[in-house]
Amino acid sequence: MKFEKIPNISVDCVVFGYDINTKSLNVLVMKRYLESKTGTDVLVDDYVLTGYHVYEHETLDGCATRVLKELTGLTNQYKKQFKAFGNPDRLTNEKDLIWIENEGFNLRTITIAYYFLLKTEDVDLKNNKHQEKWFPIKELPELGFDHRKIILEAYEDLKVKCLSEPVIFKLLPDKFTINEVQELYQSILGVDFDNRNFRRKLIKKKYIIPLDEKQVGVSKKPAQLYMFSKDVYEKMFQKNYLISI
Amino acid sequence: MKFEKIPNISVDCVVFGYDINTKSLNVLVMKRYLESKTGTDVLVDDYVLTGYHVYEHETLDGCATRVLKELTGLTNQYKKQFKAFGNPDRLTNEKDLIWIENEGFNLRTITIAYYFLLKTEDVDLKNNKHQEKWFPIKELPELGFDHRKIILEAYEDLKVKCLSEPVIFKLLPDKFTINEVQELYQSILGVDFDNRNFRRKLIKKKYIIPLDEKQVGVSKKPAQLYMFSKDVYEKMFQKNYLISI
DNA sequence: TTTATAAACGTCATAAATACGTTTATTTTT
DNA sequence: AAAAATAAACGTATTTATGACGTTTATAAA
Protein backbone atom coordinates (compact mmCIF):
# COMPACT_ATOMS: atom_id res chain seq x y z
CA MET A 1 0.00 0.00 0.00
CA LYS A 2 2.73 2.41 0.98
CA PHE A 3 4.56 1.62 -2.21
CA GLU A 4 1.73 2.10 -4.64
CA LYS A 5 2.63 4.73 -7.23
CA ILE A 6 0.33 7.46 -8.39
CA PRO A 7 0.38 6.63 -12.10
CA ASN A 8 0.63 10.05 -13.66
CA ILE A 9 2.44 12.24 -11.14
CA SER A 10 6.19 12.44 -10.89
CA VAL A 11 8.75 14.60 -9.18
CA ASP A 12 11.85 15.67 -11.10
CA CYS A 13 14.91 17.01 -9.36
CA VAL A 14 17.36 19.50 -10.80
CA VAL A 15 20.43 19.01 -8.64
CA PHE A 16 22.72 22.03 -8.81
CA GLY A 17 26.21 21.42 -7.51
CA TYR A 18 28.91 24.03 -7.37
CA ASP A 19 32.50 22.98 -7.87
CA ILE A 20 34.58 25.58 -6.07
CA ASN A 21 37.79 24.39 -7.71
CA THR A 22 36.71 24.63 -11.32
CA LYS A 23 34.32 27.46 -10.46
CA SER A 24 31.59 25.64 -12.35
CA LEU A 25 27.88 25.44 -11.57
CA ASN A 26 26.92 21.89 -12.50
CA VAL A 27 23.76 19.88 -12.94
CA LEU A 28 23.55 16.20 -12.03
CA VAL A 29 21.83 14.03 -14.62
CA MET A 30 21.73 10.34 -15.33
CA LYS A 31 22.03 8.22 -18.43
CA ARG A 32 18.97 7.09 -20.33
CA TYR A 33 19.96 4.13 -22.45
CA LEU A 34 17.92 1.63 -24.45
CA GLU A 35 18.98 -0.96 -26.99
CA SER A 36 16.67 -2.54 -29.53
CA LYS A 37 15.50 -6.08 -28.72
CA THR A 38 17.88 -7.54 -31.27
CA GLY A 39 20.67 -5.54 -29.73
CA THR A 40 21.76 -4.30 -33.11
CA ASP A 41 21.27 -0.60 -32.43
CA VAL A 42 20.88 1.91 -29.66
CA LEU A 43 17.42 3.37 -29.62
CA VAL A 44 17.87 5.91 -26.85
CA ASP A 45 21.14 7.28 -25.57
CA ASP A 46 20.91 10.57 -23.75
CA TYR A 47 20.58 12.01 -20.28
CA VAL A 48 17.63 12.79 -18.06
CA LEU A 49 16.94 14.37 -14.71
CA THR A 50 16.50 12.09 -11.78
CA GLY A 51 12.87 11.78 -10.88
CA TYR A 52 10.35 9.27 -9.74
CA HIS A 53 6.67 8.64 -9.44
CA VAL A 54 5.07 9.85 -6.25
CA TYR A 55 3.94 7.14 -3.88
CA GLU A 56 0.34 7.09 -2.74
CA HIS A 57 1.12 8.14 0.84
CA GLU A 58 4.05 10.40 0.19
CA THR A 59 4.22 14.19 0.25
CA LEU A 60 5.63 15.98 -2.79
CA ASP A 61 8.48 17.39 -0.72
CA GLY A 62 9.08 13.96 0.74
CA CYS A 63 9.28 12.46 -2.70
CA ALA A 64 11.88 15.02 -3.80
CA THR A 65 13.91 14.35 -0.67
CA ARG A 66 13.73 10.61 -1.33
CA VAL A 67 14.85 11.01 -4.94
CA LEU A 68 17.85 13.06 -3.84
CA LYS A 69 18.77 10.56 -1.16
CA GLU A 70 18.59 7.61 -3.56
CA LEU A 71 20.72 9.53 -6.03
CA THR A 72 23.36 11.04 -3.78
CA GLY A 73 22.90 9.64 -0.29
CA LEU A 74 22.42 13.22 0.91
CA THR A 75 19.63 14.52 3.12
CA ASN A 76 18.93 17.98 4.54
CA GLN A 77 19.95 19.84 1.42
CA TYR A 78 18.31 23.08 0.33
CA LYS A 79 15.42 22.38 -2.02
CA LYS A 80 12.76 24.41 -3.72
CA GLN A 81 9.67 23.36 -5.61
CA PHE A 82 9.72 25.80 -8.49
CA LYS A 83 7.22 24.68 -11.12
CA ALA A 84 4.89 21.97 -12.39
CA PHE A 85 5.27 20.81 -15.97
CA GLY A 86 2.35 19.00 -17.47
CA ASN A 87 1.54 20.05 -20.98
CA PRO A 88 0.14 17.23 -23.12
CA ASP A 89 2.95 17.62 -25.65
CA ARG A 90 5.82 17.41 -23.17
CA LEU A 91 6.66 13.80 -24.01
CA THR A 92 6.18 13.57 -27.75
CA ASN A 93 9.55 13.37 -29.44
CA GLU A 94 10.59 10.10 -31.02
CA LYS A 95 13.06 8.92 -28.39
CA ASP A 96 10.65 9.72 -25.59
CA LEU A 97 7.88 7.70 -27.22
CA ILE A 98 10.17 4.70 -27.67
CA TRP A 99 11.21 4.99 -24.04
CA ILE A 100 7.68 5.43 -22.74
CA GLU A 101 6.47 2.38 -24.65
CA ASN A 102 9.32 0.32 -23.26
CA GLU A 103 8.86 1.49 -19.68
CA GLY A 104 5.08 1.59 -19.69
CA PHE A 105 4.81 5.23 -18.64
CA ASN A 106 1.58 7.14 -18.69
CA LEU A 107 1.69 9.47 -21.67
CA ARG A 108 0.14 12.32 -19.75
CA THR A 109 2.38 12.67 -16.77
CA ILE A 110 2.54 15.86 -14.74
CA THR A 111 5.85 16.43 -13.06
CA ILE A 112 6.46 18.64 -10.06
CA ALA A 113 9.95 20.03 -10.47
CA TYR A 114 12.33 20.82 -7.62
CA TYR A 115 15.84 22.11 -7.54
CA PHE A 116 18.49 21.37 -4.97
CA LEU A 117 21.55 23.43 -4.07
CA LEU A 118 24.63 21.62 -2.82
CA LYS A 119 28.36 21.17 -3.28
CA THR A 120 29.57 18.93 -6.09
CA GLU A 121 32.25 17.56 -3.78
CA ASP A 122 29.62 16.33 -1.29
CA VAL A 123 28.33 13.81 -3.84
CA ASP A 124 30.13 10.50 -4.18
CA LEU A 125 29.64 9.17 -7.72
CA LYS A 126 31.81 6.07 -7.28
CA ASN A 127 29.11 3.40 -7.33
CA ASN A 128 26.66 5.17 -9.56
CA LYS A 129 24.53 2.43 -11.01
CA HIS A 130 22.67 4.85 -13.26
CA GLN A 131 25.76 6.54 -14.69
CA GLU A 132 25.04 9.83 -13.03
CA LYS A 133 27.20 12.64 -14.27
CA TRP A 134 27.78 16.34 -13.60
CA PHE A 135 27.52 18.76 -16.51
CA PRO A 136 28.24 22.48 -16.34
CA ILE A 137 25.01 24.42 -16.76
CA LYS A 138 26.50 26.01 -19.87
CA GLU A 139 27.44 22.66 -21.44
CA LEU A 140 24.41 20.44 -21.01
CA PRO A 141 24.32 17.19 -22.96
CA GLU A 142 21.42 15.95 -25.08
CA LEU A 143 18.51 15.62 -22.68
CA GLY A 144 15.39 13.49 -22.88
CA PHE A 145 11.76 14.49 -22.38
CA ASP A 146 11.42 18.21 -21.61
CA HIS A 147 14.31 18.10 -19.18
CA ARG A 148 16.41 20.77 -20.86
CA LYS A 149 13.50 23.15 -20.48
CA ILE A 150 13.06 22.15 -16.84
CA ILE A 151 16.74 22.69 -16.08
CA LEU A 152 16.80 26.09 -17.77
CA GLU A 153 13.69 27.21 -15.89
CA ALA A 154 15.24 26.05 -12.62
CA TYR A 155 18.33 28.05 -13.50
CA GLU A 156 16.28 31.18 -14.18
CA ASP A 157 14.51 30.76 -10.86
CA LEU A 158 17.87 30.34 -9.12
CA LYS A 159 19.20 33.54 -10.70
CA VAL A 160 16.28 35.52 -9.33
CA LYS A 161 16.40 33.77 -5.97
CA CYS A 162 20.09 34.37 -5.31
CA LEU A 163 19.62 38.11 -5.74
CA SER A 164 17.07 38.36 -2.96
CA GLU A 165 18.01 35.60 -0.52
CA PRO A 166 21.36 34.25 0.67
CA VAL A 167 20.91 30.86 -0.98
CA ILE A 168 24.36 31.26 -2.52
CA PHE A 169 25.92 29.93 0.68
CA LYS A 170 24.19 26.58 0.17
CA LEU A 171 26.54 26.11 -2.77
CA LEU A 172 29.70 27.08 -0.90
CA PRO A 173 31.73 25.34 1.80
CA ASP A 174 31.17 26.49 5.37
CA LYS A 175 34.35 28.54 5.25
CA PHE A 176 34.85 30.68 2.19
CA THR A 177 36.66 33.77 0.97
CA ILE A 178 34.99 36.92 -0.30
CA ASN A 179 36.38 36.27 -3.76
CA GLU A 180 34.85 32.81 -3.79
CA VAL A 181 31.43 34.31 -3.14
CA GLN A 182 32.00 36.82 -5.92
CA GLU A 183 33.11 34.13 -8.36
CA LEU A 184 29.99 32.12 -7.62
CA TYR A 185 27.68 35.08 -8.15
CA GLN A 186 29.45 35.79 -11.40
CA SER A 187 29.21 32.18 -12.45
CA ILE A 188 25.47 32.04 -11.80
CA LEU A 189 24.52 35.46 -13.14
CA GLY A 190 27.02 35.61 -15.99
CA VAL A 191 28.14 39.14 -15.15
CA ASP A 192 31.28 40.58 -13.58
CA PHE A 193 31.36 42.70 -10.48
CA ASP A 194 34.02 45.13 -9.37
CA ASN A 195 35.92 43.23 -6.72
CA ARG A 196 36.55 46.24 -4.49
CA ASN A 197 32.90 47.26 -4.40
CA PHE A 198 31.66 43.70 -4.05
CA ARG A 199 34.05 43.10 -1.17
CA ARG A 200 33.05 46.30 0.64
CA LYS A 201 29.37 45.47 0.30
CA LEU A 202 29.69 41.90 1.54
CA ILE A 203 32.00 42.62 4.47
CA LYS A 204 29.57 45.26 5.72
CA LYS A 205 26.91 42.59 6.37
CA LYS A 206 26.68 41.53 10.00
CA TYR A 207 25.99 37.92 9.05
CA ILE A 208 29.21 37.55 7.04
CA ILE A 209 31.55 36.71 9.88
CA PRO A 210 35.35 36.82 9.60
CA LEU A 211 37.03 33.76 11.11
CA ASP A 212 40.42 33.54 12.84
CA GLU A 213 41.59 31.58 9.87
CA LYS A 214 43.19 32.08 6.51
CA GLN A 215 43.51 30.00 3.39
CA VAL A 216 46.28 27.41 3.47
CA GLY A 217 48.20 25.89 0.60
CA VAL A 218 47.84 28.82 -1.77
CA SER A 219 50.86 30.22 -3.53
CA LYS A 220 49.99 33.87 -3.00
CA LYS A 221 48.79 36.00 -0.12
CA PRO A 222 46.28 33.74 1.64
CA ALA A 223 42.77 35.12 1.86
CA GLN A 224 40.72 35.69 4.99
CA LEU A 225 38.06 33.05 5.57
CA TYR A 226 34.47 33.96 6.42
CA MET A 227 31.32 32.12 7.40
CA PHE A 228 27.64 32.89 6.86
CA SER A 229 25.54 33.05 10.01
CA LYS A 230 21.97 31.99 9.35
CA ASP A 231 21.13 32.97 12.93
CA VAL A 232 22.33 36.53 12.56
CA TYR A 233 20.71 36.83 9.15
CA GLU A 234 17.33 35.72 10.41
CA LYS A 235 17.51 37.74 13.59
CA MET A 236 18.50 41.04 12.00
CA PHE A 237 16.44 40.58 8.91
CA GLN A 238 13.59 43.00 8.68
CA LYS A 239 11.82 43.16 5.37
CA ASN A 240 12.82 46.44 3.80
CA TYR A 241 9.99 46.65 1.26
CA LEU A 242 12.19 48.33 -1.28
CA ILE A 243 10.11 48.68 -4.39
CA SER A 244 12.57 48.14 -7.21
CA ILE A 245 10.38 48.28 -10.26
CA MET B 1 -11.86 12.30 -25.97
CA LYS B 2 -11.12 15.97 -25.67
CA PHE B 3 -13.31 16.12 -22.58
CA GLU B 4 -11.81 13.23 -20.68
CA LYS B 5 -10.56 14.36 -17.30
CA ILE B 6 -7.28 13.36 -15.77
CA PRO B 7 -8.65 11.84 -12.57
CA ASN B 8 -6.24 13.16 -9.98
CA ILE B 9 -4.93 16.46 -11.32
CA SER B 10 -6.70 19.74 -10.80
CA VAL B 11 -5.96 23.40 -11.24
CA ASP B 12 -7.05 25.85 -8.55
CA CYS B 13 -7.25 29.56 -9.17
CA VAL B 14 -6.72 32.28 -6.60
CA VAL B 15 -8.40 35.28 -8.20
CA PHE B 16 -7.13 38.52 -6.68
CA GLY B 17 -9.25 41.55 -7.42
CA TYR B 18 -8.50 45.04 -6.22
CA ASP B 19 -11.37 47.35 -5.39
CA ILE B 20 -10.02 50.85 -5.89
CA ASN B 21 -12.99 52.42 -4.12
CA THR B 22 -12.80 50.50 -0.86
CA LYS B 23 -9.00 50.10 -1.25
CA SER B 24 -9.39 46.41 -0.58
CA LEU B 25 -7.48 43.48 -2.07
CA ASN B 26 -10.07 40.76 -2.48
CA VAL B 27 -10.14 37.06 -3.30
CA LEU B 28 -12.95 35.50 -5.31
CA VAL B 29 -14.29 32.25 -3.88
CA MET B 30 -17.43 30.24 -4.39
CA LYS B 31 -19.88 28.53 -2.10
CA ARG B 32 -19.53 24.87 -1.22
CA TYR B 33 -22.89 23.64 0.01
CA LEU B 34 -24.23 20.18 0.74
CA GLU B 35 -27.38 19.04 2.52
CA SER B 36 -27.89 15.60 3.99
CA LYS B 37 -30.09 13.26 1.91
CA THR B 38 -33.01 13.74 4.25
CA GLY B 39 -32.54 17.49 3.95
CA THR B 40 -32.64 17.90 7.71
CA ASP B 41 -29.22 19.41 8.14
CA VAL B 42 -26.43 21.13 6.24
CA LEU B 43 -23.37 18.91 5.99
CA VAL B 44 -21.02 21.34 4.28
CA ASP B 45 -21.39 25.10 4.12
CA ASP B 46 -18.20 26.99 3.40
CA TYR B 47 -16.25 28.49 0.53
CA VAL B 48 -13.66 27.09 -1.87
CA LEU B 49 -11.43 28.32 -4.63
CA THR B 50 -12.59 27.80 -8.16
CA GLY B 51 -10.78 24.94 -9.77
CA TYR B 52 -11.32 22.08 -12.09
CA HIS B 53 -9.84 18.83 -13.25
CA VAL B 54 -7.44 19.07 -16.14
CA TYR B 55 -8.68 17.62 -19.40
CA GLU B 56 -6.61 15.00 -21.13
CA HIS B 57 -5.53 17.24 -23.99
CA GLU B 58 -5.32 20.53 -22.14
CA THR B 59 -2.26 22.44 -20.99
CA LEU B 60 -2.05 23.47 -17.34
CA ASP B 61 -2.03 27.15 -18.31
CA GLY B 62 -4.95 26.52 -20.62
CA CYS B 63 -6.90 24.90 -17.84
CA ALA B 64 -6.34 27.88 -15.55
CA THR B 65 -7.45 30.24 -18.31
CA ARG B 66 -10.57 28.16 -18.87
CA VAL B 67 -11.45 28.11 -15.18
CA LEU B 68 -11.17 31.90 -14.99
CA LYS B 69 -13.27 32.34 -18.11
CA GLU B 70 -16.03 30.08 -16.81
CA LEU B 71 -15.99 31.92 -13.51
CA THR B 72 -15.75 35.54 -14.63
CA GLY B 73 -16.08 35.63 -18.40
CA LEU B 74 -12.66 37.27 -18.51
CA THR B 75 -9.74 36.27 -20.71
CA ASN B 76 -6.26 37.75 -21.08
CA GLN B 77 -5.77 38.47 -17.41
CA TYR B 78 -2.39 38.26 -15.70
CA LYS B 79 -1.83 34.79 -14.27
CA LYS B 80 0.99 32.98 -12.56
CA GLN B 81 1.44 29.34 -11.69
CA PHE B 82 2.96 29.59 -8.24
CA LYS B 83 2.89 26.16 -6.59
CA ALA B 84 1.63 22.59 -6.67
CA PHE B 85 -0.14 21.22 -3.61
CA GLY B 86 -0.38 17.50 -3.31
CA ASN B 87 0.27 16.22 0.16
CA PRO B 88 -1.71 13.09 1.01
CA ASP B 89 -3.30 14.82 4.02
CA ARG B 90 -4.53 17.87 2.16
CA LEU B 91 -8.12 16.62 1.96
CA THR B 92 -8.69 14.94 5.29
CA ASN B 93 -10.89 17.10 7.45
CA GLU B 94 -14.43 15.96 8.10
CA LYS B 95 -16.27 18.27 5.74
CA ASP B 96 -13.85 17.53 2.92
CA LEU B 97 -14.35 13.78 3.32
CA ILE B 98 -18.14 14.15 3.23
CA TRP B 99 -17.84 16.29 0.13
CA ILE B 100 -15.39 13.97 -1.59
CA GLU B 101 -17.59 10.96 -0.99
CA ASN B 102 -20.58 12.83 -2.40
CA GLU B 103 -18.75 14.11 -5.46
CA GLY B 104 -16.68 11.02 -6.12
CA PHE B 105 -13.33 12.82 -6.04
CA ASN B 106 -10.05 10.99 -6.00
CA LEU B 107 -8.67 11.21 -2.48
CA ARG B 108 -5.15 11.87 -3.66
CA THR B 109 -5.53 14.82 -5.95
CA ILE B 110 -2.61 17.06 -6.81
CA THR B 111 -3.58 20.61 -7.61
CA ILE B 112 -1.55 23.08 -9.59
CA ALA B 113 -2.31 26.50 -8.13
CA TYR B 114 -2.42 29.73 -10.10
CA TYR B 115 -3.20 33.25 -9.12
CA PHE B 116 -4.78 35.94 -11.26
CA LEU B 117 -4.55 39.71 -10.89
CA LEU B 118 -7.49 41.81 -12.03
CA LYS B 119 -9.91 44.54 -11.03
CA THR B 120 -12.88 43.60 -8.86
CA GLU B 121 -15.06 45.92 -10.93
CA ASP B 122 -14.27 43.97 -14.13
CA VAL B 123 -16.10 40.93 -12.78
CA ASP B 124 -19.86 40.78 -13.15
CA LEU B 125 -21.30 38.64 -10.35
CA LYS B 126 -24.95 39.14 -11.31
CA ASN B 127 -25.77 35.66 -12.60
CA ASN B 128 -23.35 33.74 -10.44
CA LYS B 129 -24.75 30.25 -10.33
CA HIS B 130 -22.14 29.13 -7.82
CA GLN B 131 -22.62 32.03 -5.39
CA GLU B 132 -19.21 33.47 -6.07
CA LYS B 133 -18.22 36.16 -3.63
CA TRP B 134 -15.34 38.54 -2.99
CA PHE B 135 -13.66 38.54 0.40
CA PRO B 136 -10.92 40.91 1.53
CA ILE B 137 -7.66 38.99 1.91
CA LYS B 138 -7.64 39.98 5.58
CA GLU B 139 -11.18 38.70 6.17
CA LEU B 140 -11.35 35.30 4.53
CA PRO B 141 -14.37 33.13 5.34
CA GLU B 142 -14.22 29.48 6.38
CA LEU B 143 -12.57 27.67 3.50
CA GLY B 144 -12.74 24.05 2.44
CA PHE B 145 -9.90 21.66 1.60
CA ASP B 146 -6.49 23.33 1.98
CA HIS B 147 -7.69 26.45 0.21
CA ARG B 148 -6.87 28.88 3.00
CA LYS B 149 -3.28 27.70 2.83
CA ILE B 150 -3.26 28.03 -0.95
CA ILE B 151 -4.63 31.57 -0.81
CA LEU B 152 -2.11 32.65 1.82
CA GLU B 153 0.78 31.19 -0.16
CA ALA B 154 -0.46 32.98 -3.28
CA TYR B 155 -0.56 36.19 -1.27
CA GLU B 156 3.01 35.72 -0.06
CA ASP B 157 4.14 35.12 -3.63
CA LEU B 158 2.31 38.26 -4.75
CA LYS B 159 4.00 40.33 -2.05
CA VAL B 160 7.43 39.30 -3.27
CA LYS B 161 6.45 39.64 -6.93
CA CYS B 162 5.11 43.18 -6.69
CA LEU B 163 8.41 44.41 -5.24
CA SER B 164 10.42 43.32 -8.25
CA GLU B 165 8.01 43.57 -11.17
CA PRO B 166 5.30 46.10 -12.06
CA VAL B 167 2.45 43.62 -11.63
CA ILE B 168 0.72 46.17 -9.42
CA PHE B 169 -0.70 47.86 -12.51
CA LYS B 170 -2.66 44.70 -13.38
CA LEU B 171 -4.77 45.49 -10.33
CA LEU B 172 -5.34 49.15 -11.16
CA PRO B 173 -7.43 50.87 -13.82
CA ASP B 174 -5.61 52.11 -16.93
CA LYS B 175 -5.61 55.65 -15.58
CA PHE B 176 -4.60 56.08 -11.97
CA THR B 177 -3.19 58.63 -9.56
CA ILE B 178 0.12 58.32 -7.74
CA ASN B 179 -1.71 58.06 -4.44
CA GLU B 180 -3.78 55.17 -5.75
CA VAL B 181 -0.60 53.25 -6.55
CA GLN B 182 0.75 54.00 -3.10
CA GLU B 183 -2.48 52.89 -1.43
CA LEU B 184 -2.38 49.60 -3.33
CA TYR B 185 1.22 48.91 -2.38
CA GLN B 186 0.36 49.66 1.23
CA SER B 187 -2.70 47.46 1.07
CA ILE B 188 -0.72 44.50 -0.30
CA LEU B 189 2.40 44.88 1.81
CA GLY B 190 0.75 46.12 4.99
CA VAL B 191 3.23 48.94 5.49
CA ASP B 192 3.04 52.70 5.05
CA PHE B 193 5.27 54.75 2.80
CA ASP B 194 6.08 58.43 3.01
CA ASN B 195 3.89 59.97 0.34
CA ARG B 196 6.41 62.61 -0.72
CA ASN B 197 9.20 60.11 -1.24
CA PHE B 198 6.94 57.54 -2.86
CA ARG B 199 5.59 60.13 -5.26
CA ARG B 200 9.04 61.41 -6.22
CA LYS B 201 10.31 57.88 -6.84
CA LEU B 202 7.35 56.85 -8.99
CA ILE B 203 7.19 60.03 -11.07
CA LYS B 204 10.86 59.66 -11.93
CA LYS B 205 10.16 56.41 -13.81
CA LYS B 206 9.99 56.86 -17.59
CA TYR B 207 7.20 54.31 -17.90
CA ILE B 208 4.87 56.18 -15.52
CA ILE B 209 3.39 58.61 -17.98
CA PRO B 210 1.40 61.70 -16.95
CA LEU B 211 -1.79 62.17 -18.95
CA ASP B 212 -3.49 65.43 -19.97
CA GLU B 213 -6.21 64.54 -17.54
CA LYS B 214 -7.16 65.03 -13.94
CA GLN B 215 -9.58 63.34 -11.60
CA VAL B 216 -13.18 64.48 -11.91
CA GLY B 217 -15.90 64.48 -9.30
CA VAL B 218 -13.64 64.74 -6.30
CA SER B 219 -14.34 67.30 -3.60
CA LYS B 220 -10.76 68.45 -3.18
CA LYS B 221 -7.90 69.36 -5.48
CA PRO B 222 -8.19 66.81 -8.29
CA ALA B 223 -5.14 64.61 -8.78
CA GLN B 224 -3.11 64.17 -11.95
CA LEU B 225 -3.80 60.91 -13.80
CA TYR B 226 -1.01 58.65 -15.02
CA MET B 227 -0.69 55.49 -17.08
CA PHE B 228 1.80 52.64 -17.05
CA SER B 229 3.56 51.98 -20.35
CA LYS B 230 4.47 48.32 -20.74
CA ASP B 231 6.30 49.22 -23.95
CA VAL B 232 8.58 51.74 -22.29
CA TYR B 233 9.13 49.46 -19.32
CA GLU B 234 10.22 46.53 -21.47
CA LYS B 235 12.35 48.64 -23.78
CA MET B 236 14.31 50.42 -21.08
CA PHE B 237 14.53 47.48 -18.76
CA GLN B 238 18.01 46.15 -18.26
CA LYS B 239 18.63 43.66 -15.51
CA ASN B 240 20.57 45.47 -12.83
CA TYR B 241 21.81 42.44 -10.89
CA LEU B 242 21.59 44.26 -7.61
CA ILE B 243 22.40 41.77 -4.91
CA SER B 244 20.12 42.73 -2.05
CA ILE B 245 20.80 40.03 0.49
C1' DT C 1 66.52 40.02 -1.35
C1' DT C 2 63.69 40.77 -5.06
C1' DT C 3 59.67 39.90 -7.77
C1' DA C 4 55.16 38.60 -8.85
C1' DT C 5 50.50 38.65 -7.60
C1' DA C 6 46.22 37.99 -5.27
C1' DA C 7 44.22 40.15 -1.31
C1' DA C 8 42.81 44.06 0.96
C1' DC C 9 42.23 48.87 1.73
C1' DG C 10 41.13 53.79 0.27
C1' DT C 11 38.99 57.89 -2.21
C1' DC C 12 35.92 60.60 -4.74
C1' DA C 13 31.79 61.61 -7.32
C1' DT C 14 27.25 60.50 -8.11
C1' DA C 15 22.79 58.53 -7.15
C1' DA C 16 19.28 56.93 -4.00
C1' DA C 17 16.92 56.80 0.25
C1' DT C 18 15.07 59.07 4.41
C1' DA C 19 12.96 62.50 7.02
C1' DC C 20 10.90 66.17 7.18
C1' DG C 21 8.64 71.37 5.84
C1' DT C 22 6.01 74.31 2.45
C1' DT C 23 3.03 75.69 -1.29
C1' DT C 24 -0.88 75.05 -4.45
C1' DA C 25 -5.35 74.06 -6.41
C1' DT C 26 -9.67 72.95 -5.58
C1' DT C 27 -14.27 72.46 -3.02
C1' DT C 28 -17.00 73.70 0.78
C1' DT C 29 -18.44 76.79 4.17
C1' DT C 30 -19.40 81.24 5.82
C1' DA D 1 -17.01 86.98 -2.51
C1' DA D 2 -13.98 85.72 1.00
C1' DA D 3 -12.32 82.36 4.19
C1' DA D 4 -11.52 77.78 5.62
C1' DA D 5 -10.37 73.14 4.88
C1' DT D 6 -7.71 69.69 2.70
C1' DA D 7 -5.64 66.56 -0.55
C1' DA D 8 -2.20 67.16 -4.03
C1' DA D 9 2.15 68.56 -5.27
C1' DC D 10 6.61 70.48 -4.63
C1' DG D 11 11.07 71.37 -1.99
C1' DT D 12 15.37 70.69 0.87
C1' DA D 13 18.86 68.83 3.79
C1' DT D 14 21.07 64.70 5.56
C1' DT D 15 22.47 60.24 5.29
C1' DT D 16 23.52 56.08 2.91
C1' DA D 17 24.67 53.27 -1.13
C1' DT D 18 26.76 52.70 -5.57
C1' DG D 19 30.17 52.89 -9.26
C1' DA D 20 34.56 53.75 -10.94
C1' DC D 21 38.85 53.87 -10.03
C1' DG D 22 44.04 54.03 -7.48
C1' DT D 23 47.17 52.20 -3.77
C1' DT D 24 49.10 49.24 -0.29
C1' DT D 25 50.01 44.70 1.82
C1' DA D 26 51.14 39.93 2.70
C1' DT D 27 52.70 35.94 0.96
C1' DA D 28 55.24 32.28 -2.06
C1' DA D 29 58.37 31.73 -5.57
C1' DA D 30 62.35 33.15 -8.07
Walk along chain A (245 residues) in steps of 10 and give the mean pLDDT of each run. Answer: 78 97 96 88 91 93 96 96 93 89 86 98 86 96 96 97 96 97 96 96 96 91 96 83 90
- Cα separation of B161 and B167, whole Å? 7
Flag whether A57 is in a domain. yes
> Pick from A119, A142, A164: which residue ends a domain?
A164
Are A185 and A223 contacting, i.e. CB atoms less than 8 angstroms apart? no
Are A51 and A63 contacting, i.e. CB atoms less than 8 angstroms apart? no
Pairing mode, strands B5-19 and B110-119: parallel
Flag whether B114 is in a domain. yes
**Same-domain status, B41 and B157:** yes
Flag whether A15 is in a domain. yes
Residue B219: give its domain's CATH number. 1.10.10.10
Pairing mode, strands A110-119 and A5-19: parallel
pTM across the whole model: 0.94
Calculate the angstrom distance between C1' of C13 and CA of B56.
62
**Same-domain status, B111 and B131:** yes
**Same-domain status, B86 and B203:** no
Q: Domains in chain B: how many in total?
A: 2
The domain containing residue A72 runs over which residues? 7-164
Flag whether B169 is in a domain. no
Flag whether A56 is in a domain. yes
- Cα separation of B173 and B122, whole Å? 10
**Same-domain status, A158 and A55:** yes
List Cβ neighbours of A153 (8 Å cut-off, separation of 6 or more).
Answer: A82, A83, A113
**Same-domain status, A59 and A41:** yes
> Pick from B105, B135, B164: which residue ends a domain?
B164
**Same-domain status, A14 and A129:** yes
- Cα separation of B242 and B236, whole Å? 17
What number of residues does chain A have?
A: 245
**Same-domain status, A155 and A185:** no
Which tens digits make up the pLDDT trace of B123-171?
998 877 789 999 999 999 999 999 999 999 999 999 999 999 999 999 9
Q: What is the DSSP code (8-state) at residue A143?
A: B
Nucleotide nearest to B179 (CA to C1'): D8
**Packing angle of the helix pair B147-164, B178-189 (nearest 10 deg):** 140
Query: If DSSP codes are grouped into helix, strand and coil, which group holds residue A179?
Result: helix
List Cβ neighbours of A211 (8 Å cut-off, separation of 6 or more).
Answer: A175, A224, A225, A226, A227
With contacts defined as CB-CB under 8 Å, which chain A residues touch B163? 241-245
Partner residue facing A242 (CB), from B9, B163, B166 = B163
**Same-domain status, B154 and B69:** yes
With contacts defined as CB-CB under 8 Å, which chain B residues touch A81? 83-84
Alpha helices in A104-146 (DSSP H): none
Q: What is the DSSP code (8-state) at residue B194?
A: -
Nucleotides in D strand less than 7 A from protein CB: 5-12, 17-22, 25-29
